[in-house]
């Protein structure tokens, strides 16, 4: 049976997304709980897991840097699919706790940022504490004798005996997170010939000291009708001012246009990696 790694403990948004795949797409796999995102990706890279489902970007707070940086540094990880997951955040406390008495709120940094306006309006004096995951926040609140609260999934709260104090507290109702399912690909795997999927992700480093170098790269896509849905830059981790770029490309332009544009960008890059062609699932 396939093993799929996710960020733990039980009750994270990652687990909710994985359970949806299991239930509604009727997929048969065993979930493996990992301590953090890096552990998920490392386990896939070392072939201790068949795949990992990890967040890559939130619509309100942007990219998940550890996912991008790990993909950029690996030669054996590839993307098999993308899942766009609607995120709902709940404020949860132990039973009988008066929400007006809450003085400390726990959650992962992403949900804390996604609920910034709610927290500022309703808990301006509360101490905000970041945790490794929303599920871990629920555990901390459940194991405390104080009037604490957690921002987490409803499932995480219920697993830890918490009750809902407020629901859908994210600042934007359209809050969603993109997840990548990551699998192992041998270093000597064949190059992609046919772009059978919705998107392709490439990563490259270009010479930033030359004026117009990024514009030249973007023009290779534009003149062949290849639509770019996302561009992201991250430090190259070599010298100050050196950056790598992530390009999400739609496949509608066809195999020839994609193949030619990626080859042209490769010729203008210090290095380039193709992270794979993959479908996009939107529940």
For the chain, the helix, strand and coil percentages under 3-state DSSP, each to the nearest 5: 30, 35, 35
- Asked whether residue 63 falls in the same domain as residue 4, the answer is yes
- Of the residues 185, 214, 234, the one at which a domain ends: 185
231 lies in a domain?
Answer: yes
In a domain, 192, yes or no: no
Asked if the structure places residue 190 within a domain, the reply is: no
Both 5 and 18 in one domain: the answer is yes
Residues 38 and 103 in one domain: no
Return the SS3 of 39.
helix
Res 123: pLDDT: 94
Instruction: Give the lowest-confidence range in 2-11, 111-120, 172-181, 189-198.
Output: 189-198
Please report where in the chains the tokens 């039980």 appear, as a residue.
10
- 230 with 259, same domain: the answer is yes
pLDDT digits (tens, 9 = 90+) for 206-239: 876 677 788 888 999 999 999 999 998 888 777 7
Instruction: Decide if 63 is inside a domain.
Output: yes
pTM, rounded to two decimals: 0.84
Whether 82 and 178 share a structural domain: yes
138-172: string of b/e by CB count within 10 Å (b at 16+)? bbbbbeeeebbbbbbbbbbbbbbebeebbeebbee
> pLDDT of 139-166, one tens digit each?
999 998 888 999 999 999 999 999 999 9
Between the ranges 20-24, 46-50, 58-62, where is the mean pLDDT highest?
46-50
- Show the domain range for 31: 1-87+174-185
| Shared-domain flag, residues 31 and 59 | yes
Q: Specify the pLDDT at position 188.
A: 59
Query: Do both 83 and 94 map to the same domain?
Result: no
Same domain (yes/no): 212, 227? yes
Counted domains in the chain: 3
Residue 190 has pLDDT above 50, yes or no: no
Give 172's DSSP letter. Answer: S
């Amino acid at each position: 049976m396939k093993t799929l790694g996710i960020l733990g403990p039980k009750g994270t948004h990652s687990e909710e997304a994985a359970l949806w795949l299991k239930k509604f797409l009727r997929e048969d796999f065993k979930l493996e709980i990992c301590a953090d995102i890096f552990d998920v990706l490392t386990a896939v890279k070392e072939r201790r897991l068949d795949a990992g489902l990890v967040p890559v970007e939130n619509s309100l707070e942007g990219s998940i840097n550890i996912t991008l940086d790990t993909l950029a540094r690996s030669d054996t990880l590839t993307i098999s699919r993308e899942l766009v997951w609607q995120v709902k955040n709940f404020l949860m406390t132990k039973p009988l706790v008066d929400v007006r008495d809450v003085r400390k709120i726990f959650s992962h940094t992403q949900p804390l940022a996604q609920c910034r306006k709610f927290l500022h309006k309703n808990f301006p004096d509360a101490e905000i504490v970041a945790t490794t995951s929303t599920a871990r926040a629920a555990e901390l609140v459940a194991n405390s004798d104080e009037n604490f609260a957690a921002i987490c999934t409803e499932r995480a709260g219920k697993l830890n005996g918490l009750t809902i104090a407020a629901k859908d507290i994210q600042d934007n109702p359209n809050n969603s997170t993109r997840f990548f399912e990551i699998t192992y690909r041998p270093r000597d795997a064949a190059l992609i010939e046919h772009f059978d999927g919705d998107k392709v992700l490439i990563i490259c480093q270009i010479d930033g000291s030359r004026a117009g170098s990024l514009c030249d790269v973007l023009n290779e896509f534009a003149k062949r009708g290849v639509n770019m849905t996302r561009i992201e830059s991250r430090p190259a981790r070599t010298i100050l001012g050196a950056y790598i770029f992530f390009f999400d490309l739609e496949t509608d332009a066809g195999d020839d246009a994609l193949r030619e544009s990626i080859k042209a960008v490769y010729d203008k890059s210090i290095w380039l990696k193709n992270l794979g062609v993959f479908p996009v699932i939107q529940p």
